[in-house]
Structure 1
Amino acid sequence: MQEQITSILAHMAKAQHELARTLEAKRVVVAHMAMLVEQIPDHNPSFGEIDALMEHSLEVTKGVASYLNSLADLEEALADNLAPILKLMKEQPGEE
């Protein structure tokens, strides 16, 4: 039984690692977008139409929100996947 738990944990760890790599790539994009927004002057920006500026600002906000939601999903997936394993490990105190 311990070998099965170890195997399940190894597969879960690999899947979570891949998800973390995806989130890292997404983090880089969001950070880059935030740096671009930071470069916008506070006074009298000349971007042409306000509609384009609002659309781009909305896209940046969506990117940040999407990244944060992905982090929350990762945390939830980790908790959901580890809870049954921890329960099984508590039920078998003699095996190590």
Structure 2
Amino acid sequence: MQSKIDEMLTHMSHSKQQMARVLDAERQVAVRMAQIIHDLPDEHPEFDGVSGLIENSSQINKSIISYLSSIADLQEALAETLNHVVKEMGSNEEE
């Protein structure tokens, strides 16, 4: 029974590593976008007026929301995994 739990934990560990890699890639995109925004000039930006500026801001906000949503999904997956592990460990202690 312990070997099955070890296999499950190993598998979950690998899946969490893959999710962490995806989140890291998205984080790097968000960081790069923040750097680009920081490098934009403060005066007289050429965004085709206010509508262009609003559109670009909207795209940035969507990227940030996507990044935060991915972090929330990772936290939820970790919580579910830990819940299963704790249940398995509890049932093993009862046996």
Please classify the TM superposition score into its range, dividing by the shorter chain length.
0.7 to 0.9
Q: What number of residue pairs does the alignment pair up?
A: 95
> In the alignment, what sits opposite 2:87?
87
Please identify which structure carries the higher helix content.
Answer: 2
Once the two structures are superposed, the pairs formed by residues 17-96 of structure 1 within 5 Å of their partners are 17-93=17-93
CA shift, 1:60, in A, is: 0.7
The residue identity in structure 2 corresponding to 1:27 is: R
In structure 1, the partner of 2:15 is: 15
Task: Indicate the larger mover: 34-43 or 14-23.
Answer: 34-43
- Note the C-alpha offset of 1:42: 3.5
Offset at 1:65?
0.7
TM-score, structure 2 normalization:
0.87
Q: Is there any run of 5+ residues in structure 1 with no aligned partner, and where?
A: none
Q: Which sections of structure 2, spanning at least 5 residues, go unmatched? A: none
Q: Percent identity?
A: 39
Deviation at 1:94, TM superposition (A): 8.0
Matched residue SS, 2:45: coil
CA deviation string 1:68-87 (max 9, x = no partner): 11001001001111211111
Runs of 4+, deviation exceeding 6 Å: none
TM (norm. structure 1) is 0.86
Distance 1:51 1:80 in 2: 43
